[in-house]
A and B are shown apart, each in its own frame.
Chain A
Amino acid sequence: MADVAIETIEDVVCGFCGLGCDDLRVEVEGRELRAAGTVCAEAARLIRRLDVADRPASVAGAAVDLDTAAEAARHILLGARATLIGGLGTDMAGAGALTDLAIRFGGVLDHHASDGLFRNYASAQRTGWLATTLAEVRNRCDLLLVIGEDPAGQWGRLFERLFPEAPLFAEGRRRVVFIGGAPGETAQRQLGHADISHLATDDPVAVLEALSVLSDGRMPPGEAFGGVPAAELAALAEAMGAAHYVVATWNAAALDDGDLVAERATALVDRLNVTTRAGVFPLGGRDNIIGVNQLLLWRLGYPLRTAVRGQASTHDGALYATEAALADADVLLWVSAFRPEPPPSFAGKIIALAHPETVFENEPDVLIPVGTPGVDHAGTVFRMDSIVSLPLGALRVATLPSVAEAVRCIAEG
């Protein structure tokens, strides 16, 4: 294979973290793939593929063909008392096929990254919120609040995408205030043309509450909030009132009290919109969780953490969360096509539609390795803002089935 030419594919769309970068460059050499040019560490790692033989489908660890594995999976689903369809790292076609499967065989649907989503929903469903999307932040935001730890570790190009050097509308030096952890090197580099400040605190909820009160023109009782002096918060509140477009962003998955952060940030943004403009920009979106959630909303009328049984669906954000649902389940259908995310420990039967490099604690009862959307086959994923979705292309000829194909094999027998 030494004489295989290297082909470079430009403008590759990345579907892994939910930020939706679509300007990647990938070098293809036979079946080998490697990212080149501007790319974050996570995308580089997940795109990197070697020219190795695919792991075969297996039943109880013994290699079988796809049809045999699908038949064994079907047999397990038919005999299941309670199935959790978990992981759900899949594109829109896979999500649709899995929803059909849940309708046919019954099952609870949850995504492996849904903790952050439901912390945000605690607020979004109770009071609603005023939100914004990437292109608006890029061009309008003149004061960005980053709440919690620096998110650049998880979204490597976040600040590059949010704060380009030449926005359409935001004037003068744009401000970024980190409330919580300090900005790391990546954030500082990408925000080199903005004014960065840091309010160190381990209680961002208290800081946000105080900012809301101050934005309302009142003085909260106390000299410091979450360890931040009142005077600094008063100055920030004044700056927010004078700003044209304030954006609050946080990663609820990484915050123990993410539900409270979401609620207080929502309240603050509500208050700011009385006199100026502001929006929340919650972070998330890993492995197309937003797309899967969107599809469930239009197909079932409920978000993730929904059970489909006997031709009817019920939703319960606590009862049907993966950990709780597994306690009642006897079968886990685990789906992770974007990354080698192993299934959680589980004593019942496991059917895995998994990335071929997944390392399992115990060999699944049925394993069907699947291709990765945007690497092995085309597909659609949603960005974290739930509005924009993107077409993923194939970077090489697929040798593994997609999740949708594997699920159809299982369902149709």
Chain B
Amino acid sequence: MRLRLKGGRVLDPANGENGVATGAVRDIEIEDGRIVAPTDSKADAEYDLGGDVVLAGGIDLHSHIAGGKMNLARLLMQEDRRTYPEMPGNFCGCGGGRAVPTAHATGCRYAELGYTTVFEPAMVGANARGAHLEMADIPNLDTGAYLVLGNDDFFQRLLAAGAHQETVNAYVGWMIEATQAFAIKIVNPGGINAFKFNARKLDLDEANPHYGVSPRRVLTTLIRAVTELGLPHPIHLHGCNLGVPGNDETTLATIAAAEGRRLHLTHLQFHSYGTEGDKRFSSSAARIAEMVNANPNISVDVGQVMFGQTVTASADYMSQYRNRAIASPNKSIGMDIELDAACGVVPFEYRDRNFVNALQWAIGLELFLLVEDPWRIFLTTDHPNGGPFTTYPHLIRLLMDRDFRNAQLATLNKAAQAHTLLGQITREYSLEEVAILTRAAPARILGLKEKGHLGVGAVADIAVHTEDADREAMFSTTRYVFKNGRLIVKDGLVVELAQGTTHVARPEFDRAIDKDMQRWFDESVGLKSKHFRVADGELRGGAGPTILKCEGVAP
């Protein structure tokens, strides 16, 4: 099967190509799902792009799209499903919801926006099999999942007992393989575990009440583990004290704790709060952006807050238990899970007239605009926690259009306006920078060499947008989207459902750990370790995963 996309302006920052700036148009040729060098061969189909902008398929490296907590959110927020019923133009009758869309709606809405790869950032090991079943039902997207680690009792016990790093590495390798994960996520390092022992907060250097292990030790040990195992993505960290005014100091200390080693701070907006001002809630975005700029080992995604109703779902039960007091509507679910992790599901409505919410919005945008290197910052709303991913086009316009941004700012809570320097920031993102944030940079930080670009050999995941000075309008729809070289979206509507793949990482590790895992599962968890393990054939309806083999580095 050979396709030819004719006469597009190719915007491919990974390969240094910017057809938007130069005005140059060219063809892109696809053969059997891959981009190939142009040939004279007859194509099975040709698409005349007429100078439209051609991008690699979007990659979202942090969006909660699958797993038990999303189903709890769907159960709790049936009003979200009822308010957003099936959309026309789909042909399966199983789509709906906005904050927590169904698997079908997730795949279709993302595809319509030009996204073709999305990573679930908080898969709990005990729930891995279910999360993979759910991901298999998401059409049009390739997926992958980060395994939540660091709060599990096996790991805490290892650290408390002073285990060697090699043992920790073996454990992490075993867990990645057993749960078919792609990377390691730490959520509130040790805090979720401490909450099970009735601690209500845990700072970076505070000892776990049972194990005596500090979050700093959890973090540094796991940073070393993923480095030595050779996992492509660095530790994906949801830090301590999410949402707490004054957590800016923790965030700065956490960056310092990495000591120059690679670390990804996720939904940084929720971790950039100071305590200045009469309301004891202020923006520390400038301080934190400065430290991110000065530390090239650090990457971040923002977790932008977007106004409206959503539902927050996190493994951070410690924080979500605190947040349930401000749930809107007033209901919430929490759960301790399997000596492994936990979850908390709390509905929120972010209001533009509310001081805290308005300032959260401004803090997120300050971070976007003050972090200088677009290769180290990623466009996320922490879907659905800051807002649904369907708000991305609006967010892109906020980044690219200063007048629009300031006009929005002027409508917000007055006190919040006075507490942000957003109005003075003149930066506007270019289209190329947006392409880096949403394509090239996530592919690079995830180690996906065949994605996020349009060079020869790349997977033919391609989005075509018609340029529009209104960037929200431009990114709200796509003229064409191709998944593995198959046309899945035409003129903004899904025309076909493609089955994606699931990316997993496969590090080498010392398999002697298997005996310890068997004993642990038998005696403590009450489940056989071999039944905890998810087999390749259980992924994607028997198709199995796409495996990225990792080559460890010497410790």
Contact = CB atoms under 8 A, between A and B. Distances in A.
5 A-B pairs with the lowest CB-CB distances in the bound complex, closest first: A311-B93, A301-B81, A128-B331, A135-B338, A128-B333
Contacts of B527: 20, 22, 135, 388, 390
A175 interface: no
Nearest to B331: A128
B86 A131 contact: no
A386 B214 CA distance: 31
B337 interface: yes
Interface in B82-100: 85-86, 90-97, 100
A200 B97 CA distance: 46
Which of A99, A139, A140, A308 counts the most B-chain CB atoms under 10 A from its CB? A139
B68 interface: yes
B102 A301 contact: yes
A387 B76 contact: no
Contacts of A294: 68, 71, 130
A133 B333 contact: no
26 contacts: A20-B527, A96-B137, A124-B76, A125-B78, A127-B331, A129-B333, A131-B336, A135-B527, A138-B525, A139-B339, A139-B524, A166-B523, A169-B210, A279-B336, A294-B71, A298-B66, A298-B103, A298-B134, A299-B94, A299-B102, A301-B95, A301-B105, A387-B338, A388-B338, A389-B129, A391-B538
A301 B96 CA distance: 7
A97 to B, nearest CB: 11
A11 B528 contact: yes
Contact of A124 (B66, B85, B195, B333): B333
Nearest to A299: B94
A300 interface: yes
A397 interface: no
A8 interface: no
A132 interface: yes
Contacts of B339: 135-136, 139, 168
A131 B321 CA distance: 12
A18 to B, nearest CB: 14
A11 B330 CA distance: 44
Interface in A333-363: none
Interface string B415-435: 000000000000000000000
Interface in A101-133: 103, 121, 124-133
A23 interface: yes
A22 B103 contact: no
Interface of B: 66, 68, 70-72, 74-76, 78, 81, 85-86, 90-97, 100-105, 124, 126-127, 129-130, 133-134, 137, 153, 195-198, 210, 321, 324, 327, 330-340, 345, 523-528, 530-531, 535, 538
Contacts of B526: 134-135, 138, 161, 164
B153 A298 contact: no
B11 to A, nearest CB: 34
A313 B95 CA distance: 9
A168, A244, A308, A387, most chain B CB atoms within 10 A: A387
B72 to A, nearest CB: 8
A244 B337 CA distance: 16
A2 interface: no
Contacts of B126: 133, 135, 387-388
A258 interface: no
B347 to A, nearest CB: 9
A277 B196 contact: yes
Contacts of A139: 153, 339, 524
A126 B85 CA distance: 21
A13 interface: yes
A103 B538 CA distance: 24
A315 interface: yes
Contact of B334 (A125, A126, A131, A166): A131
A276 B198 contact: yes
Contacts of B338: 133-136, 387-388
A171 to B, nearest CB: 11
